[in-house]
Structures are given as C-alpha cells and as structure tokens.
Amino acid sequence: MIKIHDENTITLQSLKPDCSQCSGLCCTALFFSEMDGFPENKQAGKPCFNLHKNFRCKIHGELEKRKMKGCIGYDCFGAGQQVTQTIYSGQTWQNTPGLAKEIYDVYIAVFQLYQIRYFLLEVMSINPAKMLRNNIKPLIEENEIICNSKPQDILKFHIENYRKKANVFLRQVCSLLPKNLCCLNKKCPSDFLGRNFKNKDFSGLDLSTKLLIAADFNNCVFNGTIFLGADTRDADFSNADLSDAVFITQGQINSAKGNRNTKLPQYLDYPFTWR
C-alpha cells in the first residue's frame, strides 16, 4: 500500500461539498459554457437559470438525463460552505447584493486554496513521502489560517506564490514512490484519447495533466499512479482498481465513468451516475 490511513485521510474526507450549507456559489460565481456540459453559456457572477431562489438546482434529479456533465463533474472541495457559513456568516450574494462581487472573488480564492490543501493533505498520507511532512505541515496550517481570515485578507493573499511553494513538494512525490512502482520499466503511452487499455497495469505511471478523455480503462490497475490535473472526462474505469491512485480528485471521478466494482480511494465517493 502506498498510502497509510490515518488522521490525514479523515481530514481529506472532510473536504467535501455540502450544498445545503452553500449559496449556490459554483452555479453563480463561475463562468461556464454549454460546450463543457453546462446548461448555458454563462458569464461569471450571473446565477444559472436553473438555480432556485433557495440555492437548489431545479433540475438536480435530471442532470444525468440532460447530459450536464460539467455540473455533475464539478467539486468545490467544500469551499462553498466555508465561504457562505464561516467567512460571511450566512450573508449571501442574494441577501447582500452589495457584497456579491467580493463574495465571488473570495469563493474563487478559497476554492483554489482548498484544492491545494487537498493535495498537500494527501502527500501527508503517502508513506514513501513521509520525509516531506515537516515541510508540508506549515503550508497546510498557513492555508487553514488564510481560509478562516477576513475577506480582505483572503483577497490580499498571493495564491500563486503559495501554489509554487506547494508544487515543489507535489513534484517530489513521484520520485519518492518505490522503484517497482516508478516509471522505470513502463512506458507511458503518448496518446490516450478514446483508446482501449482494458486489463492493463498502469501502476507507478505519472499521468499528470494527461488527456485521458473517453479512454477505456476497464479492469486496469493504478497502484501509485499519479493523476494530478489529468482530464478524465468520460474515461471508463469500470472494474478498475484506483484505490491506491495518487492525487485523484472527486471531480475527476465524477467526470469519469465507472461502476460499483471500481475500487476507489477510501476518501472518495461513488458518483450517483455509477451503477
């Protein structure tokens, strides 16, 4: 096993959206397009026409039937409820329109910080990367402090500098994986788009930022495989073993296909579209 299951796994489990505690921020603050599987071409800061006044999606039960893959795939890591409940104490873009622009900007900043925190917490649970823990802990603490600060302090925070510091450690993870799981004896295919890889063993490969769109990974194994920023839209992971995959997110899982036989990391959930 690449990963140990300890308090960091539990914390990863807590970085999940709770839409009942949010004010529909992802459906309002962000720009999106029909081409990416959203219902309309929408400017940032305008509520989606399907967003009800109570911040619920009017077509939530039909997202799959209507092929709203963008909506199904999106995951805020819990930034929405943090901004709505903790940072703004229940003030929303709806009941305090004068603050709307600021709330959207804070949401986008906190979303990015939560995403980075998610990866840093995962490094803390990767056994071969344990020598990085003392460097990563202060970065996680800094992240937690900023995400609990006043809006003005969050907006002043230099996220790109913070991201660069975090990326240094994320990049080190691949080189720290055990030799038998590293990329030494396996060549990474140059093209994945729509290709058939059924029953293959991808253990130890670095698939960071790869376009895996519509690839068939049925019954494949991904022990220690790195998925950082990979595009998994419509990739089929039915019957595959992703339980020890590294840097795979709920958003990537939601965007992909799979079934109840797919093995997922402990802290990720089966999308409602997987049967």
Residues found near ligand SF4 in the complex (CB under 6 A): 27, 38-39, 48, 50-51, 57, 59, 68, 71
Residue 54 or 89 having the CB closest to ligand SF4: 54
> DSSP letters along the chain, please?
--B--SHHHHHHHH----GGGS-S-HHHHS-B-GGGT-SS-B-TTS--TTB-TTS-BTTGGGTTTTT-HHHHH---TTHHHIIIIIISTT--TTT-GGGHHHHHHHHHHHHHHHHHHHHHHHHHTBGGGGGGHHHHHHHHHHHHHHHTS-HHHHHHS-HHHHHHHHHHHHHHHHHHS-GGGSGGG-PPPS--TT-B-TT-B-TT-B-TT-B-TT-B-TT-B-TT-B-TT-B-TT-B-TT-B-TT-BS--HHHHHHSB--TTSB--TT----TT--
**From the CB of 83, what's the least distance to ligand SF4, in Å?**
16
Residue 31 or 90 having the CB closest to ligand SF4: 31
Residue 30 or 228 having the CB closest to ligand SF4: 30
**From the CB of 55, what's the least distance to ligand SF4, in Å?**
9
**From the CB of 78, what's the least distance to ligand SF4, in Å?**
17
Residue 249 or 254 having the CB closest to ligand SF4: 254
**From the CB of 95, what's the least distance to ligand SF4, in Å?**
18
Residue 50 or 84 having the CB closest to ligand SF4: 50
**From the CB of 63, what's the least distance to ligand SF4, in Å?**
6
